[in-house]
Amino acid sequence: MQPRPLITVGLAIGYMTIVAITWVVVGLDYDTVGDTTSNIVKGIVLPVALASVFLAVATSYLGWWGPAIREDLRAPRWLWAVPVLMFLPGLGALLGGFGPADRTAAYLFWLGVGTLLVGFGEEMLTRGTGLVGLRGGFGEPMAWFFSCLLFGLVHALNLFFGQSLGSTVQQIGIAFVAGSVLYVTRRVAGTLVICMLLHAWIDFTTFAFSDAATDAESPFVTLSLVQWLAFALAIAGVVVLLRRSGQHEDAADALPAV
């Protein structure tokens, strides 16, 4: 099917509706979603699994698996620094130790399953199938912008399930910038799979080791600050990539018609 931005809008509405209805059914309080194994299963694994099935079926129907997973617009190799830097805060949290007491093997297993599903679902929606649809109607700068905006707005759903307005606005802003990190990662890696794994890693270490990541006595606490360097480098990388895309589009327009 011919890619169009409206298809991306429809996918986003479908994905968020499935998650929202599931949260209503299970009675989710977002602020406690990571507190227990049961909450992880009900609040992350179940809704995101259902939404991911929806995306997988939709992508198959559209015939977009290839362009959703594979990236042909590659980036300079120096931009590998962006995903590497974004990986380090989670590593510092992991090395710093566990957070609250409820970090049993079952908790970590289901958290791992849940964050892998989130990595798959949110990346397919925003930088996979969703990006294919956006590219069908926009140039690369607008496709980048709306994919990051969509990534931020997906998190606005948390406001209706217990998260405060201030925390939600902050999360949307950070998600937009983190979307640029993952956009650059897709371009430099040539595949969405690396974005999925990095996304899952960030979420997993945030939930499981959040206390350790901010523990002033941990020798690895400084690694938590590296994400800001990743954000800055990602923004610089986006500027470089979008300027390149503009030059390629101008060169293509200058070619004589066949």
* pLDDT of 217: 59
The answer as to whether 254 is a domain residue is no
The residue whose two tokens read 């360097």 is 229
Q: How far is CA 102 from CA 16, 30, 97, 108, 221, in A?
A: 29, 17, 13, 9, 22
Most distant pair of Cα atoms in the chain: their distance: 67
Domain containing 153: what range?
A: 5-242
The answer as to whether 63 is a domain residue is yes
Confidence of residue 218 (pLDDT cuts 50, 70, 90): low
Distance CA 111, CA 113 (A): 5
The answer as to whether 114 is a domain residue is yes
Q: What is the DSSP string of 118-181?
A: HHHHHHIIIIIHHHHHHHTTS-HHHHHHHHHHHHHHHGGGGGGGT--HHHHHHHHHHHHHHHHH
Evaluate if residue 167 carries a pLDDT over 70.
Answer: yes
For residue 70, the SS3 value is strand
The answer as to whether 257 is a domain residue is no
The residue whose two tokens read 């994400």 is 227
For residue 61, the SS3 value is helix
**Tens digit of pLDDT for each residue in 100-118?**
445 788 999 999 999 999 9
Evaluate if residue 58 carries a pLDDT over 70.
Answer: yes
* pLDDT of 97: 62
The answer as to whether 252 is a domain residue is no
Token pair in block for residue 119? 């990595």
For residue 191, the SS3 value is strand
Report how far apart the first and last C-alpha atoms of the chain are (Å, whole number).
25
**Tens digit of pLDDT for each residue in 224-248?**
789 999 999 999 999 999 998 766 5
Evaluate if residue 252 carries a pLDDT over 90.
Answer: no
> What's the whole-model pTM score?
0.90
The answer as to whether 99 is a domain residue is yes
Residue 146: alpha-carbon gap to chain centroid: 13
Count structural domains, the chain.
1
Confidence of residue 258 (pLDDT cuts 50, 70, 90): very low
Token pair in block for residue 246? 């503009």
The answer as to whether 248 is a domain residue is no
Outline where the chain has alpha helix (H): 5-26, 37-40, 46-62, 65-69, 81-96, 105-123, 129-135, 140-154, 165-189, 192-213, 226-254
The answer as to whether 256 is a domain residue is no
